[in-house]
Amino acid sequence: MLKKSIENFVVNNKKVLVRVDFNVPVRDGVILNSARIVASLKTIQYLIDNGAKVILMSHFGRPKGKPDKNYSLEFVAKYLEATLGKKILFSDDDLVTGDKTRSLVDNMVSGDVLLLQNTRFRPEEEKNEDNFSQELAALGDIYINDAFGTAHRAHCSTVGVGKYLPSGLGFLLKKEVEILDHVMENPKRPFVAILGGSKVSDKIGTINNLINKVDTLIIGGAMMFTFYKALGLKVGKSLVEDDKVDLAKSILALGEKKGVQIALPVDVTVAEKFINNTKWKIVDKEEIEDDWIGLDIGPKSVKRFSDIISKAKTVIWNGPMGAFEMSNFAKGTFGVAEAMANSDAVTVIGGGDSAAAVDMAGLANKMTHISTGGGAAIEFFEGKTLPGLAIIDNRSRVPFICGNWKMNTTIAEGEELIHFLKDELTDDQVRLAICPPFTHLYPYKSLLKGSNICLGAQNVNREDFGPYTGEIGSPMLKELGVEYCIVGHSERRQYYNENDDSVNKKIINLLSKNIQPIYCCGESLEIRELGKAKEFVKGQIERAFKEISKKDIVRIKIAYEPIWAIGTGKTATTEQIEDMCHFIRQTINELGYEGEEMSILYGGSVNSGNARSIINCGNVDGALVGGASLNKTEFLNIINDCK
């Protein structure tokens, strides 16, 4: 996920405008469920601790674009005050951004927290009109969106303000996107999706997207009756979308074609009336009588769905199995919730009624993740781009160029090259490292001090010290000021029989000394011609990254260097490079890491003639440069081409 986050900004003494979601259920002035407020506290506390002037904005209810005291956010200010243990400023300003608010903002000091009045008091809010967006933006220096529940809405406070301020994700929104993106793009299998709710029409996009990703799709709720009708079954007075019956037929056919199991309830709880205190009974799906209404799935269905869930490794759920707000028709929904709670799978609840049901069942703490956004989660499952996420500034990976000098240059020749580069490189658009011979490290430590050039090493022993003639340990590299170290280079694999187990131990050793590994992987021409290049590279990565934590993995730079293109003057095509680097990033994701956070370099006869086209590949973040890094003009051209 290449979006800036709250941690990418220096917030001390800055006015940070934060979109939160304080649209919580309230009865007689009492908050019935504070989960959304609590979920935002990490972001708020982080900003307080780091000296920001925190300005919170949210909507509450539907005041229809005009001031209405029934929808004032003053009660939230009081709740925050009690929870955070500090004074919370509240701007009771019908204009939201009027003179009263601006005066409060002008007098804020670091660590202050100000809550604005309900943004929907302004008619422009839901229309995303520029004048209100600009008024909001004028209050802050930085915009942070931490409201997943409204990320699917293009409003002034979610999208408009992002056009005028530097922007990033808060901790809540970042976590939501990371978890949902991971289960959708890299789920552990079997992958099961459970969809409920009233209407097929509400879930068309979601079903069409999920059917290409899941192994099993469970369908419950009132929309099951549209599918029943598609199968020619009687549904009584149950809710049916007659105009969506053909669609249901096509979905069932598509599932069969793609080998996706579509599991429908086998029995139904039916009632005489749509009220709790009415006559009800359980019947098989083929036995629904004309005057009865289906209001829940039956116990056989709960058992069937529970068996499917018990075998799953990833389960997502959006939409109840029945009219769970009525106790007589809540058993199906609660049964599914219990099955998920007892599962060893990654379990994700897609907000809305599903989240409410899990909470009512007392099982919230048994789920992997409960989303704070119902509509936003549905659109995410649908594969849509959320406007509140799209507007956030992208966080690009800074290009990284590493010159591997191998066994070349005298100390004096290298010094001349370094002086040239220091004079020419006056910005930080590209991060640069050089890896000279070991004998050059000590004199270059002082030469590079204060420059934009980092010092790297060409190899390291897996052990810190010992009887290893001619070797060098990581503590020695650390003492010499080395920040990067190449491991697993194709030449060392070829000439010194270095294997993946040894490379793994070197990586772990370097990370423990806070030296960033540049890990090399790549296939021979023979393996590529056999059509096994990806399988081979994937195996290298899996073995090299064994027992490395998520925290440490992002410090590793991966250099893809096809052996057949090393020192041969032969370079892989940009299509081959992009294809393999994209595959490497996918492999990192499949291993449970954040592939988008990793820097992937290309190494293989990089020169000034091909550097620009290589770096323009979407999944290439830099280059490991060999012979061309010894020619000062050639190397400088490569660096400039990567900016």
Which residues are known catalytic residues?
Answer: 489, 561
- 83 burial (CB, 10 Å; 0-12 / 13-18 / 19+) is middle
Place of tokens 């920040």: 483
- Residue 346 sits at the vertex; the CA angle it makes with 344 and 348, to the nearest 5 degrees, is 130
304, 298 contact by CB (below 8 A): no
Q: Rg for the chain (alpha carbons), in Å? A: 29
Residue 136: in which H helix or E strand, if any? Answer: helix 130-137
Please state, in angstroms and rounded to a whole number, the distance separating the CA atoms of residues 267 and 251. Answer: 21
122, 352 contact by CB (below 8 A): no
Place of tokens 């099982």: 363
- List b or e across 422-437, with b for residues whose CB sees 16 or more CB atoms inside 10 angstroms: eeebeeeebbbbbbbb
Q: Which amino acid is at 35?
A: A
Q: Which amino acid is at 630?
A: L
* Among 340, 300, 304, 335, CA closest to 321: 335
546, 595 contact by CB (below 8 A): no
Q: Which residues, 6 or more positions from 172, have their beta carbon under 8 angstroms from its beta carbon?
A: 39, 40, 42, 43, 146, 147, 148, 372
Report residue 537 CA to chain centroid gap: 25
Q: Which residues, 6 or more positions from 599, have their beta carbon under 8 angstroms from its beta carbon?
A: 397, 400, 557, 558, 621, 622
Please state, in angstroms and rounded to a whole number, the distance separating the CA atoms of residues 285 and 296. Answer: 11
